[in-house]
Amino acid sequence: MFKDMLENVRKKCPLIHNITNYVTVNDCANIVLACGASPIMADDKDEVADITAICTGLNINIGTLNSRTIASMLIAGKRANELNHPVVLDPVGAGASKLRTDTAMQLLKEVKFSVIRGNISEIKTLASGSGTTKGVDADVADKVTEENLDEVVAFAKAFAEKIGAIIAITGSIDVVTDGKKAYCIRNGHPMMSSITGTGCQLSAMTAAFIAANPEHPLEAAAAAVSAMGYAGEVAYNRLSEMDGNATYRNYIIDAIYNMTPDMLEEGAKYEMR
Amino acid sequence: MFKDMLENVRKKCPLIHNITNYVTVNDCANIVLACGASPIMADDKDEVADITAICTGLNINIGTLNSRTIASMLIAGKRANELNHPVVLDPVGAGASKLRTDTAMQLLKEVKFSVIRGNISEIKTLASGSGTTKGVDADVADKVTEENLDEVVAFAKAFAEKIGAIIAITGSIDVVTDGKKAYCIRNGHPMMSSITGTGCQLSAMTAAFIAANPEHPLEAAAAAVSAMGYAGEVAYNRLSEMDGNATYRNYIIDAIYNMTPDMLEEGAKYEMR
Amino acid sequence: MFKDMLENVRKKCPLIHNITNYVTVNDCANIVLACGASPIMADDKDEVADITAICTGLNINIGTLNSRTIASMLIAGKRANELNHPVVLDPVGAGASKLRTDTAMQLLKEVKFSVIRGNISEIKTLASGSGTTKGVDADVADKVTEENLDEVVAFAKAFAEKIGAIIAITGSIDVVTDGKKAYCIRNGHPMMSSITGTGCQLSAMTAAFIAANPEHPLEAAAAAVSAMGYAGEVAYNRLSEMDGNATYRNYIIDAIYNMTPDMLEEGAKYEMR
């Protein structure tokens, strides 16, 4: 199944509009290209409606948000909704500042999202409307483990149901659910947390996967999450002794570039709960 | 001839002011350094006139433009004109939104450019004042091929003549013309389109080449285009099986860093039409 | 001693707030991660006070400053001062435009900095209140050499004393002083100047080092400077014939990632003056 999801990205080459932070934007663009889609970045309120209209998917990431770009996120999100384009939200650092939490909540209120992808702390912040996120990483107290996995799945399903979006919580175990079915994904490598932007990259790639697979948004989102984690494994296995997080960053994008649908199908490690 | 163009960049180390998008800005800075010049990025309206004054060339790139930076582009462009500094325009995504098309047209009206570098769709948009660019890539219908090359050369020459600037249309075959002579350049590799920003990088590097070769702007621009394409070939030949677009990106900049004037002279593939 | 400084960063994993330029921001984030700390980038005036409050250190870098971010720098700096968080200033390009010089002077007036790190031209600009910086690189006339080292040390000590901050002047020889003691550091490699952002990366990493070593700010800053230079040496030694500045950039961050406290202790080359 995941195989078809990636195959469709490569076949359809969807154009993805990204309103994203300036920290990881280059990596987001390159991973979107690596998976076979095409990125465009535009964040001015006077052009985002035009840009979104020529795309087939929109990715909104609130890292390094500002008053100018918040307005653009709302305009683009609403326009994408009118056009029935899938929209991904990456609530980077929601809970770390009032502005981020408030912006995320406003976006949830005014824009219909297809997928919301974040770490457990960010998603908990969205579910409760407030939070104590430690920067842009998940709180240690919040980590998803084998012990609390059922609890996290139940929480994610309930929030997905309530909000009407696919929820993708990524961490050492990833949970992707539409409220009914949940994929628990065990791809990835701990070293991924030593690179900035693997989450941002995944959100951008998720927009590409769901744009190319409109009939299967849950499977498409799960396939994107699995592909990112699997790329982290492949890239880790390439590292030599002197390589560190900078080379690892490049190798992850390289692994997506070279990932065939069959490789993803074989490499994906998941169960349904 | 191309040999001397690169040699002069290395010898004179021109300082290049870039007002460019936040997606590929780091790569632009590193490729400017790789070719032997020195980059400075500044986009606030209260400093761009000062910054441009201490530089010898200006590169204006409209990717991720916004109301704040559009004003800065105009101020910097006019100041560079007063000082007789060469100015490059990269009309990224012109035709993809009204804001980009209008901004590109306004820049053409108020600033005198030495070189305009874009893909065929972007340049067609500038020539006609409107367009249907698919995002930031050239439309398939617009591709430059051996079949339509004469037509593209004639179009580029006419536009160069009309606008009074060197036109550099890059794609599978590149056309660089001042309206009289046209270089048709066959360097490059298709994989370059799987990286974000090879066009942006080339525009920044072109500013360095023309700043270092004020007597030979056409040859300088053609040499920059050829150098970028040749770097794409050299980098491609270095790739191993697991390398993808992220490593390729690094290798292209590395190839510019290691390119000697003699290597460029030998590697350049072009004809005049 | 330097050994303990790095060990504490790895042990405490301080969260560092960066208000920095969009050119080198990704590298700054990755090097902060590489040394064992955690970065967060946020520059909107409505969230910087919140963000700085959850961090333990702040890094202000004026590259690509604008009216919006200047206000944020002041708010964040003052908030960090109230909370007794260490604050680093990187006065990128001070002297290159009136806006940069004025902003740097205003920051010095309104915010108490723990460390100011720049090249000799930038630091001279701050000391005199005006300057003739050539872009973002040090003037040739300003280079720190064995011949003028005593003079530079005296200048740096006097400025550190006057301003009440540690001054870190980096170049072919680095000088780090609190006004009383000065570390003269001879790590590094000339090829580091062919990459954009080694200075910015060092400033971000310095914030991590001083945040993790509140009792030893001078030693922490000197250790960060030495670590960066040593990483430049290690990375240089890894380069193969076709590698250039892009690969070198990655290898430097990799070298920080793999640098153990013992390696730093052994690799550090300095004397006190």
One DSSP character per residue, A5-71 reads HHHHHHHH--EEEEE--SSSHHHHHHHHHHTT-EEEE---TTTHHHHHHHSSEEEEE-TT--HHHHH
**pLDDT value of position B141:** 65
Calculate what percentage of chain A has a pLDDT beyond 70.
96
Query: Domain containing C261 — which CATH number?
Result: 3.40.1190.20
Q: What are phi and psi of C217, to 5 degrees?
A: -60, -40
Mutate to test the interface with C, among A20, A31, A99, A137 (most CBs of C within 10 A): A99
What's the pTM value of the predicted model, to 2 decimals? 0.97
Interval C52-81: pLDDT, tens: 999 999 999 999 999 999 999 999 999 999
SS3 readout for chain C: CHHHHHHHHHHHCCEEEEECCCCCHHHHHHHHHHCCCEEEECCCCCCHHHHHHHCCEEEEECCCCCHHHHHHHHHHHHHHHHCCCCEEEECCCECCEHHHHHHHHHHHHHCCCCEEEECHHHHHHHHHCCCCCECCECCHHHCCCCCCHHHHHHHHHHHHHHHCCEEEECCCCEEEECCCCEEEECCCCHHHHHCCCHHHHHHHHHHHHHHHCCCCHHHHHHHHHHHHHHHHHHHHHHCCCCCCHHHHHHHHHHHHHHCCHHHHHHHCCEEEC
- Closest CB to A97 among C47, C253, C256: C47
Instruction: Identify the H or E element spanning A87.
Output: strand A87-90
Cross-chain CB nearest to A66 (options C15, C44, C249): C44
Q: Which residues in C lie closer than 8 A to residue A135 (C-beta atoms)?
A: 15, 38, 40, 51, 54-55
In chain B, % of residues over pLDDT 70: 96
Instruction: Write the DSSP symbol of residue A134.
Output: B
Out of A22, A38, A253, closest to residue B135 by CB: A38
- 3-class SS at B198? helix
Categorize the per-residue pLDDT at C142 as very low, low, confident or very high, splitting at 50, 70 and 90: confident
ipTM over 0.85: yes
Query: pLDDT-derived band of residue B186, with 50, 70 and 90 as boundaries?
Result: very high
Q: What is the mean pLDDT of residues C126-145?
A: 75
Stretch C37-64: mean pLDDT, rounded?
Answer: 98
Q: Mutation test of the interface with chain C: which of A25, A67, A68, A136, choosing the one with the most C Cβ atoms within 10 A?
A: A136
Domains held by chain B: number: 1
Q: Is the pLDDT of residue A222 over 80?
A: yes
Mean pLDDT value across residues A89-115: 97
In this prediction, residue B257 has a pLDDT band, given cuts at 50, 70 and 90, of very high
Average pLDDT over residues C105-126: 97
Percent of all residues in chain B with a pLDDT value above 90, rounded to a whole number: 94
Backbone phi, psi, residue C269, to 5°: -125, 105
Domain that holds residue A194: 2-272
Lowest mean pLDDT of A203-217, B122-136, B161-175, C203-217, name the range: B122-136
Token duo for residue A270: 């998941």
Query: Are residues A24 and C22, on separate chains, in Cβ contact within 8 Å?
Result: no
Per-residue pLDDT tens over the stretch A5-46: 999 999 999 999 999 999 999 999 999 999 999 999 999 999
| Per-residue model confidence (pLDDT) at position C143 | 87
Average pLDDT score, chain B:
96
pLDDT at C140 over 90: no
Cα dihedral value C162, C163, C165, C168, nearest 10:
-80
Confidence of residue A129 (pLDDT cuts 50, 70, 90): confident
CB hemisphere CA count around B212 (13 angstroms): 30
Q: Does residue B136 have a pLDDT over 80?
A: no
CA distances from A64 to A25, A45, A61, C97 (A): 11, 16, 9, 26
Q: Beta-carbon neighbour count of residue A109 at 10 Å?
A: 8
Q: Point out the least confidently predicted range of C109-118, C132-141, C146-155.
A: C132-141
What mean pLDDT do residues B67-79 have? 98
Distance, in angstroms, between A123 CA and closest chain C CA?
A: 18
Report how far residue C206's alpha carbon sits from residue C217's, in angstroms, rounded to the nearest whole number: 10
Is the pLDDT assigned to residue A136 strictly greater than 90? no
**pLDDT reported for residue A140:** 59
Instruction: With cut-offs at 50, 70 and 90, classify the pLDDT of residue B133.
Output: low
Residue A143 pLDDT grade (very low, low, confident, very high; cuts 50, 70, 90): confident
B245 vs A30: CB contact, 8 Å cut-off? Answer: yes
Q: Return the residue in B19, B31, B54 with the most chain C beta carbons within 10 A, the one to mutate for interface testing.
A: B54
Does pLDDT of A106 surpass 90? yes
Does the structure show a pLDDT above 80 at B130? Answer: no
The pLDDT value recorded for residue B140 is: 60
Does the distance separating the beta carbons of A97 and C51 come in below 8 Å?
yes
Q: What number is the average pLDDT over the span B109-130?
A: 95
Strand-pair category, B57-61 with B174-177: unpaired
pLDDT of residue A133: 61
pLDDT confidence of residue A239: 98
Q: Tell me the mean pLDDT in the region A161-185.
A: 98
- pLDDT value at position B137? 72
